[in-house]
Chain A
Amino acid sequence: MTKTLLYGTALTSLAIGLALPALAQDTGTLDQRKAEEAQRRPPAYSPYVGRDFPTRPFFGDTHLHTSFSMDAGAFGARIAPRDAYRFARGEEITSNTGQPVKLSRPLDFLVVADHSDNMGFFPDLFAGKPNLLADPTGRQWYDMIQSGKGADAAMAIIVAFSHATFPKDLMYFPGTPAYHSAWQDTIDAAEEYNAPGRFTAFIGFEWTSNTGGNNLHRNVIFRDNGDKASQVEPFTVYPPYGSDNPAELWKWMQAYETKTGGNVLAIAHNGNLSNGLMFPVVEAFGKKLDSEYAETRAKWERLYEATQTKGTGEAHPFLSPNDEFAAFEIWDKGNLDGSVAKTKEMLEFEYARSAYKNGLKLEKELGTNPYTFGLVGSSDAHTGLAAMEEDNFFGKTVPQEPSPHRMMEAFINNPKTGVKVMDWEVSASGYAAVWSRENTRESLWDAMERKETYATTGPRMIVRFFGGWDFVQQDAQDRLPARIGYGKGVPMGGDLSAAPGGKAPTFLVAALKDPIGANLDRYQIVKGWLDADGSLHEKVYDVAWSGGRKPGGDGKLPPVGNTVDEPNATWTNTIGAPELIAVWEDPEFDATQPAFYYGRVIEIPTPRWTAYDGKRFGVKPLPGATMTVTERAYTSPIWYRPKP
């Protein structure tokens, strides 16, 4: 293993490259004419002339709910899409519980992804929309609300849903004028706040397959503007209009593209509450996995939500016992409603790393790897507020907006199964980082499509990850590693194949701390591979780290330390490093074995949101509550495929 550590390089080095035409896939359009022209042209004074690759990551949230989502509205969320966009682009607004709130820095993009089933019902009911009042039951509920019996109305609504007696005419289904109106309003809000070059407001929705309480949700994101998105209505779950089978969603996505000439992609929800269903290896919805399944899934599900408020789904300590950082914000007690407790056998089919590994095997069997997804993080907040910083965490739902009570209560509590998740276990996570050339719908979406993305648990560290065959130690000393990275390799989300004779893959990795965040502990590369016997393996390599630490006899790097003062919710950047950069070569490479590699960047310990709350409100945490966090980022992998 080779390592290079450099400190003190200009903080802009990762985000800037020199004037080389894009040589890596999908990072530009280099044709013969342009190449010849570049060769003929004398070097310009400006080293950035002609640069054609992403120079900065754009940070955003691909999964935010507003009052248009049925459950968010029921919890009291009154922030609608327009206010959600205003907040994301940096404005100060008032939260659902009346608290002023503002992001530390604006986000670059936002996807309002409201649940497609019953989208817009709550705001319409309370606004007394004519379509709802025309129905006797709708009228009755509205009158109850107006006469102060809102709680009773809520109960009546719940009972109507749960007993399948909800009046058909009140249902917000595709094809109804009311539903169309809600969808159009969603589109209009995105159109209104989309500002190419400054802030991107994506059109999107969440398809919410939840049968049996097992979470198989997907967020669908449009590349297109409203002219195309408004030609359809979102795919829903409830039959006969929709389905809970992801394969049907993929058909809907294909139909959309065929009809409009537009583009959509899907991001699978964190699978940790799917109870073993998110990443099947044998069959899905009663059908044996086949090449069509693998190809279709790989085509549409370009990204995976590795971290969000309901925990992190990168790895699990049971599956990765040698990974001391795997036990991070884990939710492994049951499914989404706690109706079925988790068993260890389910875990393999819920976490990204095991899916990557199983994907290698499935590719051998089916010819296509269905699990070649990239990674993002996003909030899944149901407040309209993409506020995922530890010291600025506005919760997952309205009851979890800042209050002296929110550390004390249960988020999931099913006495029948014993599944209980406390509110303090809700994570202030995450965001999506996208290496895009421009802050536009098209450019960001294209970067998502090619998986040039990474997940963060909240901080905005800048992370580069390039793979190739020719990176050398000196490359890690260049102050513009992106120029080297794109010139000699592929970025995160890319592919390597057919290793040149005698060569092992090399990786140029670099990370910068969040400018207002904590220093970095280490940069790791996670490798998984399939051996000749058909066995799957994984290994985590420390490739760059802060300080003069040396791995111990067990190969483990000593901990970076901890400066967190929990009672006062403070820490210092007296440990760790502001940046890490290295070139690493796989020391155990076998050119005949398919593999994947992805980067994981770990921050030094910092106060968790629970510590900030404890200090602010003067409340003591419940026993066992976690008060510190090691924030992190996960890059999309680079896959290696042997010669066919």
Chain B
Amino acid sequence: MRRHACLARVFMSLSLATAVTLAARAGSACGYHDDVTMARGILNWAYPDALHVLGSISSAVADRRLPAPSPAGAPPDLFGARYRETVKALEQLAKALGAAGEARPLSFSLVLIEPMLWTRFEFGEKRMRLRVHATGPERDELVLVSGEVVIDEIASGRLTIGKAHRLGLMRLYGPAVRQAQFLLAYAWIGQRPLAAATPEHTQTGSRSQQGPAPLAAATAGADIRRQSNCWGERRTACPLDH
């Protein structure tokens, strides 16, 4: 989980008592707003009890079933290595999902709760398209809430989607039928390490609605480097800067 804002700052932001004060210095004092914390908090309302995933992750770490976070004092992730790892895991997951099931796959959105990173899994007629860093889900769409560390485990073949769901490490929201369909089709994924991704199916970038972009190009491009700030010490408004 990334750095979160101070209570006071959020209260300052939300308190009418200080609205005028803030308005006067919004340009100078809001640079430290940590929207991730707010976005995560709102998620608990918009998708009731979505933050219970955090509790499940905590329990799993305590049970040593999930790895602990990077040790204190580890160098900051200035170059977005963690982000790239997550994108890789998402790509592997997307590929596995696209290859699974005989029925027409479901499009859905996944939010990874630590960085509040939204990803859309869009299934077209011929191929699956992954949009990392999407703005959010579509209306009435199936929404998955989970964690980076959970997706890593699924991609590594150490945890299935079904078990993640049973353990509360992945929560599903949306029409009940779609939830059931999703689990029916994909619960087994994660039984073994997921295959390498197909890069051309991945699209990254919060503003990039321009169609698929090769992962290599995206990784090398300015867009991905800009986003890598989301994983470094100085990340500010990444998920909400769309």
Q: Tell me the chain B residues, 34-61 only, with Cβ under 8 Å from chain A.
A: 35, 37-49, 51-59, 61
Q: Is the CB of B45 within 8 A of A73?
A: yes
What is the interface size of chain A, counting residues whose CB is below 8 A from a CB of the partner? Answer: 88
> Are A410 and B3 interface neighbours, CB within 8 A?
yes
A396: which B residues are within 8 A, CB to CB? 7
Report the nearest A residue to B54, measured CB to CB: A97
- Are A152 and B240 touching (Cβ within 8 A)? yes
**A71 nearest in chain B by CB position:** B11
A257 at the interface (CB under 8 A from B): no
B13, A158: Cβ atoms closer than 8 Å:
yes
A623 at the interface (CB under 8 A from B): yes
Which of B6, B14, B73 contacts A413 (CB under 8 A)? B6
> Which residue, of B3, B11, B56, B71, has the highest number of chain A Cβ atoms within 10 A?
B11
Residue from the list B13, B26, B44 in contact with A78, Cβ < 8 A: B44
A residues in contact with B73, CB < 8 Å: 620, 622-623
User: Are B69 and A405 in contact, with the CB atoms below 8 A?
Assistant: yes
Q: In chain A, what residue has the closest Cβ to B12? A: A337
Tell me if A338 counts as interface (CB < 8 A to partner B): yes
Any A CB within 8 A of the CB of B10: yes
Which of B14, B31, B44 is A76 in contact with, Cβ under 8 Å? B44
Closest Cβ–Cβ distance, residue B143 to chain A (whole Å):
6
Q: For B71, what are the chain A residues with a Cβ–Cβ distance below 8 Å?
A: 619-620
Asked whether any CB of chain A lies closer than 8 Å to the CB of B33, the reply is yes
B68 lies within 8 A of chain A by Cβ: yes
Q: Mark the stretch among A40-48, A210-218, A258-266, A584-592 that contacts chain B.
A: A210-218
Identify B17's interface contact among A74, A96, A244, A625, CB under 8 A.
A244
- Whether B28 is near chain A, meaning CB under 8 Å from some CB there, is yes
Closest Cβ–Cβ distance, residue A158 to chain B (whole Å): 5
Which chain B residues lie closer than 8 Å to A618 at the CB level?
A: 61-62, 64, 68
Q: How far is the CA of A114 from the CA of B214 in the complex (A)?
A: 51
Of chain A, the residue at the smallest CB distance from B48 is: A78
A-B contact list, 26 entries, CB within 8 Å: A76-B45, A94-B52, A96-B51, A98-B51, A99-B58, A115-B15, A125-B45, A149-B135, A150-B39, A150-B45, A153-B42, A154-B240, A210-B12, A238-B17, A273-B8, A338-B32, A399-B1, A399-B4, A401-B58, A403-B54, A412-B8, A413-B32, A416-B32, A421-B6, A618-B62, A625-B72
* A residues with CB within 8 A of B: 70-71, 73-78, 94-99, 115, 117-118, 122, 125-126, 145-155, 157-158, 161-164, 166, 171, 173, 208-213, 215, 236-238, 242, 244, 273, 335-339, 382, 396-399, 401-405, 407-416, 421, 616-623, 625
On B, residues with C-beta under 8 Å from A are 1-4, 6-23, 26, 28-33, 35, 37-49, 51-59, 61-62, 64, 68-69, 71-73, 109, 114, 116, 135-139, 141, 143, 168, 239-240, 242
